[in-house]
Structures are given as structure tokens and as C-alpha cells.
Amino acid sequence: MLQEPRSAIGQLVSVRQDHWRVLDIVRHEDCESWQLEGVRPSNRGERRTLLVPFDRPRPRGARDMCGRAVGARRGLLALRALAAVSTSAGQLRTAAAAAIEILDYQLEPVLACLRGASRLLVADEVGLGKTVQAGLVLAELSSRGEAGRVLVLTPAALATQWADELAQRFQLEPTIVDRSTLARLASWSSDEEGPWARLPLAIASIDYVKQPEVLRGMGGVHWDLLIVDEAHTCVQAPYRAAALAWLASRARRLVLLTATPHSGDDAAFQALCDVGKLAGEPPIAMFRRTRAGLGGPPTRRVRVMRVRIGEAEAQMHRALLSYAKRVWRRAGGPSPAPTPAPARLAMTVLCKRAASGPAALLASLRRRLELLDAPSPAAVQLSLPLAEEDDHEDEQPGDVLGAPGLDDPDEERRELQRLIEMARDASACDSKARVLLRLLNRARQPAVVFTEYRDTLEELAASLASLGPAATLHGGLDGASRRAALARFSSGAAPLLLATDAASLGLNLQATCHLVINHDLPWSPLRLEQRIGRLDRIGQRRMVHAIHLAARDTFEEEVLARLALRVERVRSSIGLGASPLGTVDEGRVAGTIIGGDAEPPAQISGRWREDASRARFAFVNPDLRAEARAEANRLRFVRALRTPASRRRAIDIASILDSCEQSAPWRFVLRADRVALAPGVYALHRVRVIDGRGALLADEVVSCSFDGATPGRHPRLATFPGDR
């Protein structure tokens, strides 16, 4: 036992097979209570109180007060380890060790969070790493003890991808929450603590969480951090919006992620900015960066390939458009309705299916004829309260096709029978499928082909079978099947990936290929950008080639191809701050194609920012570029310390620091002509600032120097022997 207890405060001792630092000693009548803090990786941060003499601490490093003599090589490793962990209060602790590329702009949101921002809107263009930025915020707050309970809301198809990203890039351990997870946790929960309170980091689908039965179980939980992916979809749907508003009101910090913050609807954008806002709270901090704004080189080439279709297909398109226009005029009356009537919606579906392919149209025409012959609605079985909701947008449309279009039912049935015969004849010679086969044969490289509907995808898989195996992704796949299909494509086992929009969300294909082909064009410009953005994103090393197939002499060439090219021109010049065509949704495109409305005018994508300033939308744009640039340089320096140029593997920071603390102090001699330091004696001290909760506020290295050396914070450690 130490003979002079008071002098032992601050020393390192060994007791109970571990090493500790003495924080305080309180004398009692027959014993002393020692407060200890762990210093090794196995017990770092733990606090214990021991009674002496019942426990007998032994001093560490007391034999040689001049310090342990070590060689220059080991001393330099110790300097590297100290510099690598040294951070002040405003610097990042976790980014250097994360499996990410250090990019200046990606550090701005987390720096804003450290400076007090409680609500962030990360609205970068598709492919600029919004998930990574949210992960940086989460990892940094976790390291500071400020993210003990975190909820990530995401589309159901992206839950597994989020879990993988957080685990692989930031070494976090998330739990994907679904019905089975809650059922398992509920059996272990007390009345006072529900299952959600047992999850430090939960990932859940917004459509699962919005259900009243699920929300009710979250009533006693408050979140340190709430992250919402694809946040724009949550403010436009009433049930999602209500659930998000309630959860955000119970969160200390909120991070919203979306590539389309303002699609032209001012009210929706204002609602997005106001999510989670409390009375008197400052506006949300929004970060909107585009490739053009970041000054990067061109990353894609876009081409529209006009396909010459056969006479049977041309007749089918002309007849369908004639029928759709008759229904459109009859259904809406003399002036367009504020919202599409059911019959107009049915015509929109038929025209979209025709653009997808004759086989897709044939299936929908038959379905419409069946519904018109049997108009009585089928009974609908309600889903169980805790069942997940899935949006299979690529499925064959259902009852929406049953709305009558013409005043004479018999005439409409005859018209549909005629269209069915035409679609059957056109299906025998699908021109787009033949052109796609020739294009892929010439390309002879991995490619992604997007189509709107699942039955078109199945037809393409059959017609492209001569190219070899193809992986398919659509909204009907479960998580395991989806991952298996992606693994086949990524490994090269299947050089072709066929996907629908329902499965395209969140795909990261930049490392696999650089050719994307749109078999049919979506009627939403932003959805088209989402497709190309699966390949044109961070990590893509080659120029992305995007090819749009458009049938000649049809509305696809006349309207959709022009819209697609206009989107690309605006995006390549100033980026897509919003839809470059104003408020362009499928209804407006349908009005142009079927109803003869004026084509949507081109607008400057940045205009909504000017409109926002005039309308005084509640957001601010923090300018942290200089701070982010300085922090990025520091993090790159720290990474260089962790992996010296003379070594193939990263040094074991924790092991070296543990060794230092066990036998501190160390002393070693460096040759002045081999390091960028003035001759003299330097004493380095590691200072850690801990608040009353035990949270680490700062971990810095402070130096004292003699014989002409200048005191300062870990003097220039950037150049070491072997790194020049």
C-alpha cells in the first residue's frame, strides 16, 4: 500500500488486476476510501471506490521518477499516438478513424451541430453523401456521450443499407426495428421502460412507425438524435407528417436528409423547414451543395436514343392517345379540374404503361376491361395494426383502372377490345427491346437498365436472356432477395441489372458500372435524376453514360425526351436546387401529353432561393467552409499519423497510449537534424477535460519547452523520420 495517501492523488496504481488513476482519497476512522478511474482500454472511463487496507493498491512507475528510457522509434510512435487523439472542444474525434473519404463540405453539418445547431437540413444533390454526413453527426455525438438514444427513420427498403453503412463506416451497432424486434423486446421490458427505451440506436421504417399502435409504444421515450432520410416524403403525406412532427418534438437534435427540399411547392418546403421547431427556436440550418457549386469536373454524358417503332406499335400509340384524349375531355369538363378525376388517372396509367411497352399496356387494358364488366368493388382485408406498409409502385395497377371513361359503356368496351388487339399485335415486335439488346451487345460492359413496371422488367429479362444471367430488383423482393441480387451484380456473376423505380432508392452502384439505360422515361424529372444518381455519386471513377430510349413519333419523343434533356442542361450548368421545370408532377405531364396543355416552361433551378428570401422561408445557410477546410486538413494529418508512410498497417493507437500510461513518464532522444523542432528539451502532457457527467470535453497535448524552444500545443509533429 502507498505510505502517503495524499501524495498518491493523480498517480497510477495497480489493483484488482487492472490499472487505475487515483482521483481522490477520503480518510475515515479505520480505513480510507480511494476513488479510482480506469486508464487501460479494458476499463478506460470506469470509476470505482475501494476501501484501503481491504484493497491494497500498488504504485506504478514510482521507481524511476526520471521516466522510462525508450528508443527513438518507440518515442516517435508515442508522439504519433498522442497527436492522433489530441482534439480540442470544437474538433472532430471520430472522422479520422471512420471508413470514409475526408471531404471538406461533408464536415460542415457536424461542425454546425458542435456549434449549437439543433435542427439540420442536409439537402445536397443526389450522390454527394448525405448518409455519410448524418453518420458523422451520429458518431461524433456518440463519442461525446450526447447520443445515448438515437432513432433513424428511413424508407423500408433502405433500413438494411443504413445499418450496414453505420456499422462498416463508423463501427456503430444499430438495431433494425420491425414487428418481430418489438415483440422480442416487449417480453423483456418492464412497465416503466418500454421496448424502444432499450434501443440505443434504432433504425425503422417511417411507414411502420407512423402506425398509431407503434407510436403509442414510443410515448415514454425522448431521443437525443432523430435522423430522417428522404424527409420530403414525410411532410407531403398527412400520416407520415403527423408521426414525424410528434417524434421531432421529443428529440433534442434533428437531422433531415433529402435531395429535393423544394420541388416547387412552397407550402411543402415551409413545412419541411418547420419540422421539430419549438417556440423561440432559431431557423433550421440548411446545407445545399451541388456538383456544379463544388466545382467538380463533368461526371456524366446524357444521350436520347430515338427508337424507330414498327407500324403495329405506331397504330397502338395513336389509337390509345385518341381514346385517352376523348376520356380526358369528357371526365374533366371544359376546364381542367384542380385534381385529376378517376378516369383521368386511369388514362394517365394507360399512357405510362404504353410507354413502358406493349406487353405492359396489354395487361392493363385487359384489367380495365375486367373491371368495367364487374364494377362492384371487392372487399378489402385490412392489414394487421403492426404490419409493415410497402409501396409496390411497380406492380400492375389495380382498381384505379376501373373508372368509366366514356358515357356509353358498350362503346368503351368495343374501344378497349380494339386496343387489346392492337397491343397484342405490337407485343410480337417490341422495337425498344430489340434496340436495347443491340445496344447492350455493342457496349459489352456491366449496365443498369431501369423500367417503370415489374411486368416490363420480366419481359425484358426474357428478351435479353441471350446476354447471359441478369439480376433483377423490384418492389416485391424482400431484403434478403434484394441483397442477393445486388451481390450477384456487384461480383460480376450477373453483368446486367434490371431494376424498377420502386427498387432504385438508395442503390450505390458507382463501384460496379458506369452505364445506365432508361428503357422508358419516368414522368417525373426528379425521379429521372434519382435513377442516374445511383451511378453518378461519390466513389465513381469514370464518366457515367446515361442513355434514354424514346419511341419516335410518339408523345415519349415529343414531350418526355425534351423534358429529360432540359433537366440535364440545367443540372450540368447550375445543379438541381429544385425541379428545373417548376412544379412538374405526373399530373402536369399527363395534362401536356393527353389534355393538350402547354408544355411546362423552363425555370432556373436556383430561382426558388430568391423566392424563398422574398417569402422569408424559415431557414439559414451557415457558411462553415473555412472551418471545414481547416478541420479536413487536420483530419488528413491525423490519418497520416495513424498510418505512417514507412508502415503498411495503421499503428495501434490504443495499445501505445495504454503502454505510455502504464509506465509513464517516457523519455527519449531525437536527433535535431531529423525532426522539424528547435534543439532543446520538451515535456509533453496529455490533458483531458471531463465534465460532471463524466463526458470527455477535450483531450489535448500541452508542451513545455526549454533551451530556446517555443512552448505550444504539440509542436510540429507533421514531419518524422521515414515520412519524408
What confidence score (pLDDT) does residue 163 get? Answer: 93
Backbone angles phi, psi at 58, to 5 degrees: -115, 135
Residue 661 to residue 37: CA distance in whole angstroms: 13
DSSP 68-121: EE--HHHHHHHHHHHHHH-B-TTS-SSTTTSSS---GGGGHHHHHHHTT--EEE
What confidence score (pLDDT) does residue 301 get? Answer: 86
Indicate the helix (H) or strand (E) that contains 333: none
Question: Is the CA virtual torsion 208, 212, 213, 219 positive or negative?
Answer: positive
How many residues in the chain? 724
b or e along 542-577 (b: 16 or more beta carbons within 10 Å of the residue's beta carbon)? eebbbbbbbbeebbbbebbbebbebbbebbbeebbb
Q: Are strands 470-473 and 496-500 parallel, antiparallel or unpaired?
A: parallel
What confidence score (pLDDT) does residue 176 get? Answer: 93
For the CA atoms of 325, 331, 334, 340, the dihedral, rounded to the nearest 10 degrees, stands at: -90
DSSP 275-293: TTPPTTPPPEEEE---HHH
For 66-119, write each residue's pLDDT tens digit. Answer: 667 888 788 878 887 887 777 877 889 889 889 999 999 999 999 999 998 999
- C-beta pairs of 689-696 under 8 Å, 24+ apart in sequence: 689/89, 693/145, 694/45, 694/47, 694/145, 695/144, 695/145, 695/146, 696/143, 696/144, 696/145
Residue 92 corresponds to which cell in the numbers above? Answer: 472532430
Under 8 Å between Cβ of 526 and 230: no
Residue holding cell 508502415? 647
Distances (CA, A) of 634 to 92, 144, 675: 10, 19, 19
Please give the biggest Cα pair distance in the chain: 107
User: CB-based contacts of 179: which residues, under 8 Å, 6+ apart?
Assistant: 208, 386, 387, 388
Under 8 Å between Cβ of 79 and 640: no
**Positions in the chain short of pLDDT 70:** 1-7, 41, 60-67, 187-193, 263-265, 296, 331-340, 375-399, 503-504, 506, 566-588, 595-617, 644-648, 661-664, 672-677, 692-694, 706-724
Residue 151 to residue 217: CA distance in whole angstroms: 14
Under 8 Å between Cβ of 331 and 388: no
DSSP 548-562: EEEETTSHIIIIIHH
What number of other Cβ atoms are within 10 A of residue 73's Cβ? 11
Of 715, 718, 642, 716, give the one whose Cα is nearest residue 683: 715
Residue 335 to residue 329: CA distance in whole angstroms: 9
545 Rama class: left (phi>0) / alpha (psi -120 to 50) / beta: beta
- What domains can you pick out in the chain, each with its CATH number? 5-59 (2.30.30), 118-289+615-621 (3.40.50.10810), 297-310+431-580 (3.40.50.300), 311-328+335-373+403-428 (no CATH)
For 623-636, write each residue's pLDDT tens digit. Answer: 899 999 999 998 88
Q: How many helices and strands (H and E) does the chain possess?
A: 26, 24
Residue 112 corresponds to which cell in the numbers above? Answer: 454546425
Residue 586 corresponds to which cell in the numbers above? Answer: 405526373
Under 8 Å between Cβ of 399 and 426: no
| pTM, rounded to two decimals | 0.74
Indicate the helix (H) or strand (E) that contains 360: helix 358-373
Of 279, 284, 271, give the one whose Cα is nearest residue 244: 271
What confidence score (pLDDT) does residue 689 get? Answer: 78
Q: Are strands 18-27 and 12-15 parallel, antiparallel or unpaired?
A: antiparallel
User: CB-based contacts of 319: which residues, under 8 Å, 6+ apart?
Assistant: 418, 419, 422
Residue 146 to residue 143: CA distance in whole angstroms: 8
Please report which residue ranges of 171-310 form alpha helices under DSSP H.
179-186, 206-209, 212-216, 232-236, 238-248, 266-273, 291-294
Backbone angles phi, psi at 544, to 5 degrees: -85, 130
Instruction: Tell me the chain's radius of gyration from C-alpha atoms.
Output: 32
The one-character DSSP state at 262 is B
What confidence score (pLDDT) does residue 437 get? Answer: 92
Residue 568 to residue 580: CA distance in whole angstroms: 9
